[in-house]
Structure 1
Amino acid sequence: MAFAASRRLSAAAAAAAAPKLSSLFTPRPIPNPKPRPLSPESGDDPRRRKARPRSRHPWGEDAAALLRRLHEGRYLPGPYIPDAPHVVSPDAVKAAAERFGNDHQVVANRRWLSGSDLKKVALFGCPSVERRTVFASKRLRAFFNLPEEKVCNFQFGSFSRRICSQRMLEISLLHVVLFQVPRYDKVILSDTMRILALFVLDAYPEPLQVTAEVKASVRKLLKDTINLSI
């Protein structure tokens, strides 16, 4: 028994002398989390700030007249806001103007619109790189037999990219630029209305400079179309 007691005492002493398991692992300090960089949308870093779309300044009475006519014909839903045409979505107005043009094609069929004013708008080029607008502008140029290279003045920057002469439309899809549209023996009023709506809503890219001569033609075409469609 004395021997057994001696063994128990020795085991207890050894256990007391052995280091605890937790003491073998020194806890590593938790580093303070690094502050996350601000997103480009925060606007604190001007170099990473996203370009914001410009605020639109519609052409006053011209935009109001277009919206009034579209509301009267029930092409544009919602309340008519004559004093704030900028609150209306340009996409909604373009679509409504197209439907209006489809329903009043007779205005173009009877050649009631000024050919010289239509040609000035056609010579100006595309007011937007949006696909439907590009093809609408192409069809208007085709009606007047205006070659693309004369209006667009393509410059070869690379095999897959060409830049329009307006210095503000860059189209990466080469097949859109080179695509030849069929020529019709009439002006397609839905195309014309889509283009005119972009002008009077001031919904074209900011670098694009619209001359006073083109603005006068746009105003006359819009006024004549509205008056002749009533």
Structure 2
Amino acid sequence: MAFPASRRLSAAAAPKLSSLFTPGPTPKPRPLPPESGDDPRRRKPRPRSRHPCGEDAAALLRRLHEGRYLPGPYLPDAPHVVSPDAVKAAAERFGNDHQVVAKWLSGSDLKKVALFGCPSVERRTVFASKRLRAFFNLPEEKVCSSCKIRSSCQFINQEVPRYDKVILSDTMRILALFVLDAYPEPLQVTAEVKASVRKLLKDTINLSI
């Protein structure tokens, strides 16, 4: 059916709907607010990127697997896939079961490791390190003042009770982080400390068999 000419004219003159709306600039996404407590000054340092483990780490993992402190099969070709947290916990349990070994470890090597400081700002590891320092009567202020990760630690200069023995579970927790290279990047472990760690680990494994 044909439309009247006047109606066809008005329809042609009517503006298109799309021309009534001019697109504006695309709004920029607003940044998300920081999470509560996420103060960069108190942010924990990230652990070092881990490389395939060396002979010391392989020996530790093998001993922990043999003692059934770590679940699953021993992976000699890929020990780096094991979680450092799982190794720390397993090493600590191993130390609890072999406390008698501690009295035969080298005091000079233990003291070198204690003087180095904490290999982590995680609470359990910090207090394990503090108890080792307390055994040797090392003042916390001396060690904490030179620590490279003290700005991220909540326990600076905090003293702990002194025990009359080296606690092997504490020592094994500390050694595990060193041999796995699972300590924060700012820490620079000297060759002397690494040699002490290696000797302590070797002696602990040999004396626990």
Q: Same fold (TM over 0.5)?
A: yes
How many pairs are equivalent?
181
| Residue of structure 2 equivalent to 1:84 | 78
- Matched residues in 2 for 1:52 and 1:144: separation? 29
Residue 208 of structure 1: how far off its partner (Å) = 1.1
User: Are 1:63 and 2:57 an aligned pair?
Assistant: yes
- Matched residues in 2 for 1:141 and 1:58: separation? 30
Larger radius of gyration: 1
| Distance change in 2, residues 1:195/1:53 (3 Å) | closer
- Pick from 171, 184, 194 the counterpart of residue 173 of structure 2: 194
- Matched residues in 2 for 1:61 and 1:126: separation? 23
* 3-state SS in 2 of match to 1:97: helix
| Distance change in 2, residues 1:172/1:126 (3 Å) | closer
| Distance change in 2, residues 1:151/1:198 (3 Å) | same
* 3-state SS in 1 of match to 2:156: helix
User: Are 1:96 and 2:96 an aligned pair?
Assistant: no
| Distance change in 2, residues 1:53/1:216 (3 Å) | closer
CA-based RMSD of the aligned residues comes to 2.6
Return the TM-score normalized by structure 2: 0.78
User: Are 1:222 and 2:182 an aligned pair?
Assistant: no
Mind listing any 5+ residue stretches in structure 2 that lack a counterpart? 1-18, 33-44
CA contact (8 A) 2:140 2:159 kept: no
Mind listing any 5+ residue stretches in structure 1 that lack a counterpart? 1-25, 40-50, 154-164
Return the TM-score normalized by structure 1: 0.71
Letter in 2 for 1:138: K
- Pick from 185, 208, 212 the counterpart of residue 191 of structure 2: 212
CA contact (8 A) 1:128 1:169 kept: no
- Matched residues in 1 for 2:193 and 2:48: separation? 21
Describe the superposition over 1:25-64 as per-residue Cα deviations: whole angstroms up to 9, x where unpaired.
x94334464575999xxxxxxxxxxx98642125510000
Higher relative contact order (CA 8 A, sep 6+): 2
- Pick from 105, 110, 122 the counterpart of residue 118 of structure 1: 110
- Matched residues in 2 for 1:35 and 1:178: separation? 47
CA contact (8 A) 2:150 2:156 kept: no
Residue 179 of structure 1: how far off its partner (Å) = 2.8
| Residue of structure 2 equivalent to 1:28 | 21
CA contact (8 A) 2:130 2:160 kept: yes
1:155-194 equivalent positions in 2, closer than 5 A: 165-171=146-152, 173=154, 176-194=155-173
* Percent identity (aligned): 82
Describe the superposition over 1:119-177 as per-residue Cα deviations: whole angstroms up to 9, x where unpaired.
00000011111111100000000000000112222xxxxxxxxxxx132342353xx22
- Matched residues in 2 for 1:181 and 1:58: separation? 35
